[in-house]
């Protein structure tokens, strides 16, 4: 699933070419997770004024309204100057005066939703429950310490929930917990201040590195120009079950938490 780094990579890829473009046509393929929320023709003539991000949602700001884009489990946005016809997995084409933005999503869990403004009830429903942005100045250590102290949930599950900090997906949670020396199953409230601060630093460092490396491509993700992410090639524990830990040589373990696989070093990461 595209997580915060992949969505941020996409945002950086499309913003320079999309801002200032005027919508000339919108074509829909098979239905996505949620309906568009307006007639495609109603978007013609709108001008893209900005490209933002909130968690794993892209926000395509128009001179009137906003398109909220979610890449779902397998989606990616592609920018094309001379697009070919829509294929079976192409579900949204926005043709503009600068080029065409296309959403490709084999599993169709993604969505493009139009809202008149971010004060619209639909926007509130999608965005209001999201935690703090981990790469922003609002991700404060003091608030992080308080959040952990009040949660009995396993720290990995807390990270994946997105309620405290948003966008730390499975691969990045595993990697951040490894860097901080914390076992994924450790209850959040048992993590002391020193280790909590290490984890706070690790979350920011892992996500920043992932953005610089173009995100992770485990199955379908590619950036706006079609390039695959490279972070997975630098993972220290994720996907390395049975291989020696890069620090101590102990075989990396894997256990299931909920529906996700957690990778960790039993020696380097304490409960």
Among the listed residues 56, 156, 183, 198, the single catalytic one is 56
Give the helix/strand (H/E) hosting 80.
Answer: strand 76-80
* Separate counts of helices (H) and strands (E) for the chain: 6, 10
133 is catalytic: no
Residue range 154-167, pLDDT digits in tens: 999 999 999 999 99
For residue 48, what is the DSSP state? E
In this model, does residue 222 exceed pLDDT 60? no
Domains of the chain and CATH, by start: 4-127 (3.20.190.10), 141-264 (1.10.8.50)
pLDDT tops 90 at residue 227: no
Mapped onto helix, strand or coil, the DSSP state of residue 264 is strand
Question: What is the DSSP annotation of 127-168?
Answer: HTT--B-TTSTT--HHHHHHHHHT--SBHHHHHHH-SSBS--
Over residues 26-56, the pLDDT tens digits come to: 999 999 999 999 999 999 999 999 999 999 9
User: Out of 33, 195, 260, 267, which one is annotated catalytic?
Assistant: 260
CA distance 243 to 111: 38
**197 flagged as catalytic:** no
Which residue in 3, 6, 8, 175 is the catalytic one? 3
Is residue 11's pLDDT more than 70? yes
In the set 2, 5, 134, 184, the catalytic residue is 2
Axis-axis angle for helices 193-212, 141-149 (nearest 10): 120
What pLDDT shows up at residue 228?
Answer: 62
- What was the pLDDT predicted at 224? 57
Is 3 a known active-site residue? yes
Q: How many CB atoms lie within 10 A of CB 7?
A: 24
């Amino acid at each position: 699933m595209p997580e915060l780094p992949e969505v941020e990579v996409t945002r950086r890829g499309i913003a320079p070419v999309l801002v200032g473009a005027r919508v000339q046509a919108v074509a829909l393929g098979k239905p996505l997770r949620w309906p568009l929320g307006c007639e495609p023709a109603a978007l013609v003539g709108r001008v893209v004024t900005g490209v933002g991000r909130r968690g794993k949602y892209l926000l395509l700001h128009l001179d009137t309204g906003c398109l909220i884009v979610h890449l779902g489990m397998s989606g990616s946005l592609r920018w094309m100057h001379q697009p070919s016809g829509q294929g079976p997995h192409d579900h949204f084409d926005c043709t503009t005066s600068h080029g065409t933005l296309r959403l490709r999503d084999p599993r169709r869990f993604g969505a493009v939703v139009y809202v008149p403004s971010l004060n619209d009830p639909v926007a509130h429903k999608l965005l209001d429950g999201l935690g703090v942005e981990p790469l922003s100045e609002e991700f404060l250590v003091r608030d992080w310490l308080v959040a952990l102290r009040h949660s009995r949930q396993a720290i990995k599950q807390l990270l994946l929930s997105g309620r405290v900090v948003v966008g730390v997906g499975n691969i990045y949670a595993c990697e951040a917990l490894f860097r901080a020396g914390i076992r994924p199953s450790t209850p959040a409230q048992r993590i002391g201040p020193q280790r909590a601060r290490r984890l706070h630093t690790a979350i920011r460092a892992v996500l920043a590195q992932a953005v610089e490396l173009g995100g992770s491509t485990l199955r379908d993700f590619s950036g706006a120009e079609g390039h695959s992410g490279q972070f997975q090639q630098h993972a220290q524990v994720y996907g390395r079950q049975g291989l020696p830990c890069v620090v101590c040589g102990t075989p990396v373990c894997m256990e299931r938490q909920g529906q996700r696989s957690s990778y960790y070093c039993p020696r380097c990461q304490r409960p």
